[in-house]
A and B are shown apart, each in its own frame.
Chain A
């Protein structure tokens, strides 16, 4: 059974701090992992993708993947109030039908306090 778990939050951090968002998944065969940012009332925006164990950095964002422990995380350095949003983790998992499709977590709401 496919499952992607995230803490719903809210995660509150002060401006300038590091925000750490975590996600666990159930399918050991998953190879593709994505983080989306969704502002209230808007559609999700892809901000990071990661396919290999380790860290991947893009500006203030770092995605971390540990396939052995089946978790993926997103670090946001120097958090800004504009980073306040819901962050969705998505994992390409094998469904009961045998096909692979993205499974989304329910999201973690991040609040950056000025």
Chain B
């Protein structure tokens, strides 16, 4: 059963702590993406990766870090430098970075930092 998994579904952290969100896909997709969604807003791109061991910053990369050591995995770390980390985080993947490739989303992780 192919798809994208994200864990955990809900995450609560204290301010000042780093937290890592998991994203795994078994679709054999080359490209993976992290988005952030705030209430009533569209999706904003945090980071994306087109191939293993390579990733690029999106619109709002400050305070976040990623790694792409395996094709299947693209974890996102929300660091204490991120000023307003509470949001809905979505991971997506596509066959490749080309403009015709459709992106498919995981179920998301809802992060609350207090």
Contact = CB atoms under 8 A, between A and B. Distances in A.
Nearest to A102: B103
A46 B103 contact: yes
Interface of B: 35, 40-45, 48, 56, 58, 90, 97, 99-108
Given A43-B90, A44-B90, A99-B56, A106 B42 contact: yes
Secondary structure class of chain B's binding surface, majority of residues:
loop
Given A44-B90, A45-B105, A106 B40 contact: yes
B104 A46 contact: yes
Contacts of B107: 42-43
The 5 A-B pairs at the shortest CB distance, nearest first, are namely: A104-B42, A106-B42, A92-B99, A104-B43, A43-B105
B105 A100 contact: no
